[in-house]
Structure 1
């Protein structure tokens, strides 16, 4: 079995006047990222590996999750504003290990979550996939190279508004 956690970065700060890639989180986003990390730990969903976009807001989200030092974090430029095919391709090539968290951006992360699940949740928040939205899914595969569309079973879904 393989477990995938797809997370959209937490709320970013548009007041900074920086490039899109360099935009940081705002105060609400920082609190949300910490809450998401607490939720992952409480639910026993801490991954062994993280694949993260190189954007500031995804890197900051990942850092504020406060994952254990044993969790390997890799940053990949191709995940910055990636479409679902790029997200799945990165997973197939670079995931390794039985449990992976991927932190990226909309619209690609939301489309990937919807397209990987056999039965997406019937929740408005899943359809909107707001900042910090997190989907946990399980796959009956032994290798990430075998990952297929519409094959994941929903384990959990949350948004920061439910946690903060």
Structure 2
């Protein structure tokens, strides 16, 4: 069985001179990411590894989570930034089979729409939201439309 934890980045600042890619998290976003990490620990849902968009807000969210969960630093996949469903599916299909439980930190609308695609159930992830999808397969490469089941959803408080 493969488990995929999709995490939408925490709340980011909108008024910056840095451009979209380099938008930092708000203080409230940092707190929300830490609360999500605590929730994951309390539910004993610690992934084996984390992949993330390299955009600052996703990277910082992933960093807060990996630090609190005592994991190695996230690996960054350029294509996650602004990815559409076909791109996200391709990324998921290429995840390393040595890991059965992987977290992927990214952005909307991509994470919400890929969740809907993979499970057949509508999903709208808020910032700092997360969804755990279980797949009855031994290979990430076999994941496709409506092959997953949502087993847990976390919205920020």
Structure 2: distance between partners of 1:44 and 1:84: 29
Q: Does 1:75 align with 2:92?
A: no
Give TM-score, length-normalised by structure 1.
0.88
Q: Which residue of 2 aligns with 1:105?
A: 107
**How do 1:131-146 residues align onto structure 2 when only pairs under 5 Å count?**
131-146=127-142
TM-score, normalised to structure 2's length? 0.92
**Number of aligned positions between the proteins:** 154
1:3 aligns with 2:3: yes
Do the aligned residues in 2 keep the contact of 1:115 with 1:149 (CA within 8 Å)? Answer: yes
Separation in structure 2 between the aligned mates of residue 139 and residue 9 of structure 1, nearest angstrom: 23
- The alignment's C-alpha RMSD in Å is 1.4
**In structure 2, what is the equivalent of residue 150 of structure 1?**
146
Find the counterpart in structure 2 of residue 89 from structure 1.
Answer: 90
**Secondary structure, aligned partner of 1:47:** coil
Q: Which residue of 2 aligns with 1:41?
A: 41
SS at the partner of 2:74? strand
Render the CA deviation track for 1:24-47: whole Å, top value 9, x for unaligned. 100110000000101111111110
Unaligned runs of 5+ in 2: none
Q: Distance in 2 between matches of 1:72 and 1:87?
A: 21
- Tell me the CA shift for residue 117 of structure 1: 1.1
Q: Aligned-pair distance for 1:67?
A: 2.5
In the TM superposition, what whole-angstrom CA distance separates every residue of 1:60-116 from its partner, at most 9, and x where no partner exists? Answer: 0011112223x4621011000111111111111134300010111111111011111
8 Å Cα contact 1:51-1:76 kept in structure 2: yes
**Is contact 2:63–2:73 with CA below 8 Å preserved after alignment?**
no
CA distance in 1 between counterparts of 2:78 and 2:95 reads: 13
Q: Which runs of 4+ in 1 moved over 2 A?
A: none
